[in-house]
Amino acid sequence: MADSAQRPLRADARRNRDKVLAAAVRVFAEDGLDAHLERIAKEAGVGSATLYRNFPTREALIEAVHRNEVAQLCDAVPGLLATQPPYEALRAWTRLFLDYVTAKFGMAEALRAIAATGSNPYGHSRDMIQAAITTLMTACAAAGTIRTDITPTDMGAALEGIALTSASPDQRHQAERLLALTLDGLKAPS
């Protein structure tokens, strides 16, 4: 695995790895810690050997899925800001954040189990998410659409609170309401 981390993957190998990660998100969200790796390989349209070549252990797959989801979430920021006004970009990104949290809900137990072994599956994810929030809020503040007395750290804490209380898929409506309340409170007074 160290060799594949040091050299770039061929295009087909990269596609297979991405298909495994996407299938794993779906299967872990549905089955949680009970997810079968063979089902993930089948849903990805690859053989078990391909899955294990990329992710030799369940823990390696779970950690890679988590890191990939965080990267996709944070990588969405520039595109949102390029195509929408800053406040709408922030609103759209926070909905992506809810999608991320809901997907992670099925993996939460697995991530905690990995953390209990001394590994840190969260790595730099908190810093990456905080940087994404900072970028969005800075753009909104420059546009005059949000209050400037609320910091990105405050917003991150609010999003974490929503995630902690309303992360399961059956609580999505509550999460949306809490998010709307948070975003309305962030708006600059008219």
Same-domain pairing of 96 and 150: yes
pLDDT in tens, 1-23: 444 455 677 888 889 999 999 99
Structure tokens belonging to residue 86: 């800053």
pLDDT digits (tens, 9 = 90+) for 114-133: 677 766 656 678 889 999 99
* Residue 78 and residue 36 share a domain: no
DSSP codes of every residue in 9-22: PPHHHHHHHHHHHH
Q: Are residues 88 and 37 in the same domain?
A: no
Tens of pLDDT, residues 50-69: 999 999 988 889 888 888 88
State the Cα torsion 129-55-104-16 to the nearest 10°: 90
Residue 104: burial class (beta carbons within 10 Å; 0-12, 13-18, 19+): buried
Q: How confident is the model at residue 79 (pLDDT cuts 50, 70, 90)?
A: very high
Could you tell me the CATH number of the domain that includes residue 15?
1.10.10
List, in sequence order, every residue forming a beta bridge with 187; answer none if it has no partner. 146
Do 126 and 51 form a contact (C-beta atoms < 8 A)?
no
Torsion, Cα 176 22 65 166, to 10 degrees, reads 20
CATH number of domain containing 182: 1.10.357.10
- CA-to-CA distance for 25 and 74, rounded, in angstroms? 17
pTM of the model: 0.81
Share of residues in the chain with pLDDT > 90 (%): 57
- Taking the alpha carbons at both ends of the chain, their separation in whole angstroms is 55
Identify the domain boundary among 56, 74, 97. Answer: 56
**Residue 40 structural domain:** 1-56
Number of structural domains in the chain: 2
109 and 179, same domain (yes or no): yes
